Chain A
Amino acid sequence: MITYLLRRILLGLVTLVVITLMVYGLARSMPGNPLTVQLGESDPSRKLNPEDQQRMLEIYGLDKPWPVGYVQWISKVIQGDLGRSITRKQPVTQLIGERIGPTVLISGTALFLTWFLAIPLGLYASARGGRIDERFTGLVLYALYSFPTFVAALFLQIIFAVWLRDTHWELPLFGMSDLSSDAPFFARCRDVAWHAILPITCQTYVVLAYNSRFIKANLEEVVRQDFIRTARAKGAGPWRVLVHHAFRNTLIPLVTLLGLSLPALVGGSVIIEQIFTWPGMGRLFFESIRERDYPTIMGLTLMFSVLTLAGQLLADLLYSIVDPRVNVE
């Protein structure tokens, strides 16, 4: 077990170096740099003169070729320093710290809702397979699965923020809170929850549709196995056969899916956060790329990569719990 973990962690570190090297190289190869993108495009009169620009590039260490920059970045990371954001003038760790909460609020709730609803839906779809009601819900889920989130988000905004304006059903168009920071705590919580409803809905429905279909497909596969016939021959009722015997066997593929959702939990959705102007990680990632804010891009990349690898490791460890045939040794 220990040797297995050590091997996996070592392999993970190698993977991390490869990922960050590629992302750093790509980011630095994009046209422009933090100085030109930030100032030059919006207002030519505020353009820095070449000497000042050169001096600032030297300060940020951007005057040397990118492989040198990468080595500098990674040696700092080893010491636990993710650097400072060039465009936002604050440490990257602090920046992430500010943005992670709002993202986890949305994705955490969405993740919980997804699984909380997908498992019963999958079981229901499997138990009622082929009947009229199951076909109808299946059709609805399939339609939801194929419906792009950004379109759904716009529709939801029109419906709840425009058409239902000044009714009980009105929901905020965008943002996370309308209240100032000195408002009472509970009022602020309510306000944030109010703002979070539409983004959470958008982030839940696609994954929900996908997961419940995934569960149903896996159950249908398992239900055809010989041991299900054995369970029925023992006298187990349909519900017990489905939940105890069949569902327990579908946990194996579900664990993979769960492991993959770990990075999404803190990564957030770039599209949804952008549409709803939600101050989360997805939006930070998008903006930092637009601003060529290399330290922030790299800090976020590192975090997502670590979580992706951790999610995979977690899934592999969980396999050995849900499937006695798997032994991590």
Chain B
Amino acid sequence: MAAPLLEIKDLVTVFHTSDGRLPAVDGVSLSIERGQTLGLVGESGCGKSVTAMSTLRLVSSPGRIESGSIMFTTEGESIDLVTTPEKQLRQVRGGRIGMIFQEPMTSLNPVFTIGNQIAEAVQLHRKVSRSEARSRALEMLHLVRLADPEQRLDAYPHQLSGGMRQRVMIAIALACEPDLIIADEPTTALDVTIQAQILELLDDLRSRLGTAILLITHDLGVVAETCDDVAVMYAGRIVEQASAVELFSRPLHPYTIGLLQARPNVDARDSGPLETIPGMVPPPQDFPSGCRFHPRCSHAREPQCNVEPPSLREVSPGHFVRCHFAEEINS
């Protein structure tokens, strides 16, 4: 079997602050196959964005990847993005892996035209002339279905709406036909109708270009619509991983179950107030002992849950869960 496109193994990213060593990502393993969409889900502060940033080594100081490997395989060649020299990594950034960020309003440089910013991505990775890069930029604007691409090519970011800017960000990320796109909450800052359009666009581009997507989101609805596989993250660790169909029909981890119950259900209009998970995601300096979810878990049992950290185990083929009592809870 060929190596997956991206395989993250035991990634540990820590922040050294005055509060000490904070492991925002604490032993995360993920893998994405070519042309697949993997959803990485979790509440704010669970470490999903840091995982995304670590993939391209964009975590800024005082954050640092402490251990683990990120194997990226294209054209039969594997490189470890954690250890590869900066120069080679720059060819991967924007070239083989594109990235889309949460804030389209601030993610584009305000003093350059959008055509210029897309063309830059092309010129950084391909030996093309200025005009070739510009026509590629125009082509990309057509591809992401921005209205009036010819006029918009010379527009500045402030002249576009949030949804249009996110289309431009997608155009930048896709300009060099990457194998993988990392989309870090690409729709969070947009209103709902625009969200749907952007997701549809991403999904369409994936099926047409065969680009794999790592979709980072806190929105399970988004995952259900677009992802092949899902990983649920809690307090710096993956707590459950399965195919989207499996996860939604048979969630095993109490946290996943809680997340699913916390969604509004249109079919049951009078089902009363929404379920919530009590408490909040603990910050890295306050990670509890044992299972990190046990203080918020209604099934937690002493002394096991508060002492012994559960390992991620495969309970059925392709379905991984990090809970001592997953089977019991669900039987």
Q: Is the CB of A230 within 8 A of B110?
A: no
Inter-subunit contact A245/B109 (CB<8 Å):
yes
Interface string of A196-226 (1 = CB under 8 A from B): 0000000000000000000000000000011
Interface string of A21-56 (1 = CB under 8 A from B): 000000000000000000000000000000000000
Chain B, 147-160, contact with A by CB distance < 8 Å: what is the 0/1 string? 00000000010100
Given contacts A235-B93, A248-B111, 9 further A-B contacts (CB under 8 A): A226-B103, A226-B106, A227-B107, A232-B93, A233-B98, A235-B121, A245-B109, A249-B109, A325-B110
- Closest approach, in angstroms, between the C-beta of B151 and any C-beta of chain A? 15
- Whether A235 contacts B109 by the Cβ 8 Å rule is no
| A-B residue pairs in contact (CB < 8 Å), sample of 10 | A225-B106, A226-B103, A227-B108, A230-B169, A231-B109, A234-B93, A234-B94, A234-B124, A235-B90, A325-B156
A-B interface, 5 closest residue pairs, ranked by CB to CB distance from nearest = A235-B94, A234-B94, A226-B106, A235-B93, A233-B99
Q: For the complex, is B40 an interface residue (Cβ under 8 Å from A)? A: no
Task: Tell me which residues from 74 to 114 in chain B have a Cβ below 8 Å from any Cβ of chain A.
Answer: 90-95, 98-99, 101, 103, 106-113
List of B residues within 8 angstroms of A323 by Cβ: 110-111
Cβ–Cβ contact B158 & A325, under 8 A: yes
Chain B CB within 8 A of A237 CB: yes
Interface of A, secondary structure class, is helix
List the A side residues contacting B113 at CB < 8 Å.
Answer: 324
- What is the size category of the interface that chain B forms with chain A? 20 to 34
Please give the number of chain A residues whose Cβ is less than 8 angstroms from any Cβ of chain B in the complex: 19
Complex partner residue of B108 from A230, A237, A248, A325, CB under 8 angstroms: A230
Q: How far is the CB of A247 from chain B (nearest CB, A)?
A: 10
CB contact between B107 and one of A230, A248, A249, A325 (< 8 Å): that residue: A230
Residues in A with CB closer than 8 Å to B95 are 235
B residues near A (Cβ < 8 Å) are 56, 58, 60, 90-95, 98-99, 101, 103, 106-113, 120-121, 124-125, 156, 158, 169, 172
Pair count A-B, CB < 8 A: 69
**Which residues from A are CB-within-8-Å of B111?**
248-249, 322-324
B156 contacts A230, C-beta separation under 8 Å: no
Nearest chain B CB to A39 CB, angstrom units: 61
**Complex contacts, A234 vs chain B, CB 8 Å:** 93-94, 120-121, 124, 172
- Cβ of A229 within 8 Å of any chain B Cβ, yes or no, is yes
Q: Note all chain A residues with C-beta closer than 8 A to B103.
A: 226
Establish whether residues A227 and B90, one from each chain, have CB atoms under 8 Å apart when the complex forms: no
Across the interface, which residues of A come within 8 angstroms of B169, CB to CB? Answer: 230
A74 within 8 A of B: no
**In the bound complex, CA of A231 to CA of B109 (Å):** 8
Interface core residue of A227, A233, A236 (most chain B CB under 10 Å):
A233
- Chain A residues near B107 (CB-CB < 8 A): 226-227, 229-230
Given contacts A234-B121, A324-B158, contact A227 B94 (CB under 8 A): no
Tell whether, in the assembled complex, residue A235 and residue B124 are in contact, meaning their CB atoms are under 8 Å apart.
Answer: yes
Across-interface contacts of A227 in B (CB, < 8 A): 106-110
- Choose among B90, B112, B120, B172 the residue that contacts A237 (Cβ–Cβ < 8 A): B90
Minimum Cβ distance to chain A for residue B47 (Å): 18
Q: Which of B103, B111, B112, B124 has the most CB of A within 10 A?
A: B111
CA distance A73 to B272 in the complex (A): 84
A324 neighbours in B (Cβ, 8 Å): 110-111, 113, 156, 158
B153 CB to nearest chain A CB (Å)? 14
Q: A227-B107, A325-B110 are in contact. Are A233 and B158 (CB under 8 A)?
A: no
CA–CA, A71 to B310, complex, Å? 91
Interchain CB contact under 8 A, B58 and A229: yes
Docked pose: A235 CA to B96 CA in angstroms? 10
Q: Which residues of A contact B93 (CB under 8 A)?
A: 232-235
From residue 307 to 329 of chain A, which have CB atoms closer than 8 A to chain B? 322-325
Using Cβ atoms and an 8 Å threshold, which residues of chain A touch B91?
Answer: 235
CB distance from B72 to the nearest CB of A (A): 14
B58 to chain A, nearest CB (A): 6
Closest-by-CB residue of A relative to B105 is: A226
Residues of B within 8 A of A235 (CB): 90-95, 121, 124-125
Q: Which residue of B is nearest A225, CB measured?
A: B106
Please, which residues of chain A bring their CB within 8 A of the CB of B56? 233
Point out the residues of chain B lying under 8 angstroms from A226, CB to CB: 101, 103, 106-107
A155 to chain B, nearest CB (A): 40
- Cα A249 to Cα B156 with chains together (Å): 14
Q: Say whether B101 contacts A229, CB under 8 Å.
A: yes
Query: What residue of chain B has the Cβ atom nearest to residue A248's Cβ?
Result: B111
